[in-house]
Amino acid sequence: MKSSLKTLPTSKDCAPQKGEYNFKKESFLLNFSSLDLSLSLIRKAQSKRKFKKVSKPTDGFFSMLRKFLIYSLILSFTLDSHSMALNYYYMIKKNDNASTLLYRAKLRPIYAKSGTLFLLRKENAKHIPNIDLLFPGDRLFFPKTLALKAQHEGAVQITQRNEIIFNDRLKIKQKATNRTLANEPRDPNSPDTQSQKTAKEVQQKVKSLELINPETQAQSELEISLETGYSRLDSSLSSASAVLLSRPTLGANLKWQQNWSQSMSSFIRWNYNSISFQDTSSGTVIGGNKQTTSLMAVGLNHRLSQTLWGTLELGTREEIFAPSYVTGTATLETKPIPYARVLISKKLLEVNKLNLTGALGVSYLLGLSGTSYNVSPGAEYFTQLKVSHKFKRLSIFALGEYAETSQKTSLTNQTRKDFRTQFGLIIPLGKEE
């Protein structure tokens, strides 16, 4: 698909021609006593004017938007980690669970109505929704009274950063006891045998919590959304450059996700976008400048912690290129480019059923050859903010994204900046309470 449109004049077009002088400035400079000084000042003023950068209409908007999204995400991550560091916490290891940790810390009674497990669940209500389902790397927070009591019992040590470390002597002593009793017959009713059975039952319960129950939880989800935004394309050749701005874009997204467990899911998604570029000087649309792009990808989501998710996505998407620029007219083309995408998302805020999620990601765009011009590998960097609200039968969400894509061809160097917003629904497929 090809199209043509007019673009902004370049810095070469704005440069002063030979023989042009500013007579007011020249008459003012002749008042100086030295002619050499006046000539040097004139040359300096002309050189500054010659290399003055031409301002773009949307430089300020895109720059402020990018800084706001990046700084807000960095600030939220920093405040979250700083507030967590002020409390007494324990870093979850593999096969850890809340009941076993309280038993090792000698904090009893555990299962009473107002026991230590109840206090631990209350302390972590904002950070860990389900205390029975812990992931390695999570921070399990202890109330100050419980942490100091465990330290007084000699079961744990507390560092200067309020991190709880269990005493390794307990493990060494337990290993020595196990070696001594390895060849002795065990009584099935002994406390040691019963405690081992309880630990196995707890581990089996934790594993069962990770699975999806088809009677009460949705095994798959369907996400439908509409998309709009703005796009800007900067394309530079050896002799000229083009700056192309779009009218509000219009697109649609469709995503189907299969939930394999509480911490693992796969998905396939499709995207369609219609972009109309306009002349930046007068705002009029040149005929045939409308471009359509599509995307098809598959991916995998993995839960890294209670509030942190990682996403890997592979697919093909169409990119817009401006391979030629002749007499103020740019020619546009779309080409399919394979890509790989990595996304890290974190739940920043949760109030009742309202969630705020932030994400940072990068995409690697492969090269393309065998056409009229070759396309080199490129990269895309993007940030996202997503607000969602869950109802009984479905969820609604709004998403904002800012992305910058840089890619070179054998003819041009180009950078594309996009600001997108999505509004959509998430429909669970299956029974859900």
**pLDDT tens-digit series, residues 309-363:** 999 999 999 998 877 666 556 678 889 999 999 999 998 888 888 999 999 999 9
Does the residue 2 lie in any domain? no
Looking at per-residue confidence, does 270 or 57 come out higher?
270
Does the residue 355 lie in any domain? yes
pTM exceeding the 0.85 threshold for the entire prediction: no
| Tens-digit pLDDT profile for residues 218-228 | 788 999 999 99
- Using CA atoms, how far residue 305 sits from 122, 264, 365, 433, in Å, is 19, 12, 29, 24
Residue 389 has pLDDT above 80, yes or no: yes
Q: What is the CA angle 344-347-353, rounded to 5?
A: 140
Over residues 224-234, mean pLDDT? 92
Cis amide prior to 136 (ω within 30 degrees) = no
SS3 103: helix
Domain containing residue 27: 11-50
Specify whether 273 is located in the same domain as 402. yes
Specify whether 66 is located in the same domain as 137. no
For residue 261, name the pLDDT band (cuts at 50, 70, 90).
Answer: confident
Specify whether 249 is located in the same domain as 190. no
Examine the fold and report which residue of 210, 235, 253 is the final residue of a domain before the chain moves on.
210
Examine the fold and report which residue of 162, 182, 210 is the final residue of a domain before the chain moves on.
210
Specify whether 244 is located in the same domain as 282. yes
Does the residue 4 lie in any domain? no
Does the residue 304 lie in any domain? yes
Residue 124 has pLDDT above 50, yes or no: yes
pLDDT score for 219 = 81
Any idea what the CATH number is for the domain that residue 314 is in? 2.40.128.100
Residue 198 has pLDDT above 50, yes or no: yes
pLDDT score for 350 = 84
- Per the CB < 8 A criterion, the answer to whether 220 and 432 are in contact is no
- Per the CB < 8 A criterion, the answer to whether 218 and 432 are in contact is yes
Looking at per-residue confidence, does 309 or 57 come out higher?
309
Looking at per-residue confidence, does 102 or 64 come out higher?
102
Task: Give the closest residue to 333 by CA, choosing from 239, 253, 407, 280.
Answer: 407
Does the residue 43 lie in any domain? yes
Specify whether 41 is located in the same domain as 93. no
Residues in the chain: 433
Choose the most confident range, by mean pLDDT, from 62-76, 113-127, 281-295: 113-127
Specify whether 263 is located in the same domain as 280. yes
Examine the fold and report which residue of 186, 210, 234 is the final residue of a domain before the chain moves on.
210
Does the residue 5 lie in any domain? no
Looking at per-residue confidence, does 237 or 304 come out higher?
304
Residue 227: strand pairing partners: 251, 422
Specify whether 93 is located in the same domain as 171. yes
Contacts of 394 (CB under 8 A, 6+ apart): 425, 426, 427, 428
DSSP 430: S
pLDDT score for 286 = 40
Over residues 104-112, mean pLDDT? 81
Instruction: Tell me what percent of the residues of the chain surpass a pLDDT of 70.
Output: 64
Does the residue 416 lie in any domain? yes
SS3 303: strand
For residue 234, name the pLDDT band (cuts at 50, 70, 90).
Answer: confident
pLDDT, averaged across the chain: 75
- Per the CB < 8 A criterion, the answer to whether 13 and 325 are in contact is no
- Per the CB < 8 A criterion, the answer to whether 374 and 410 are in contact is yes
| Tens-digit pLDDT profile for residues 125-147 | 777 877 777 888 788 888 888 88
Residue type, 150: A
Does the residue 158 lie in any domain? yes
Specify whether 424 is located in the same domain as 293. yes
For residue 179, name the pLDDT band (cuts at 50, 70, 90).
Answer: very low
pLDDT score for 387 = 95
Task: Give the closest residue to 195 by CA, choosing from 113, 103, 111, 96.
Answer: 103
Q: How far apart are CA 115 and CA 205, in angstroms?
A: 20
Residue 421: strand pairing partners: 228, 400
| Tens-digit pLDDT profile for residues 81-90 | 544 545 788 8
Task: Give the closest residue to 342 by CA, choosing from 305, 317, 314.
Answer: 314
Specify whether 160 is located in the same domain as 255. no
* Total domains, the chain: 3
Contacts of 66 (CB under 8 A, 6+ apart): 383, 402, 404
Percentage helix, strand, coil, to 5, in the chain? 25, 45, 30
Specify whether 254 is located in the same domain as 366. yes
Looking at per-residue confidence, does 295 or 57 come out higher?
295
Choose the most confident range, by mean pLDDT, from 31-35, 211-215, 322-326, 344-348: 344-348
Specify whether 397 is located in the same domain as 304. yes
Specify whether 374 is located in the same domain as 333. yes
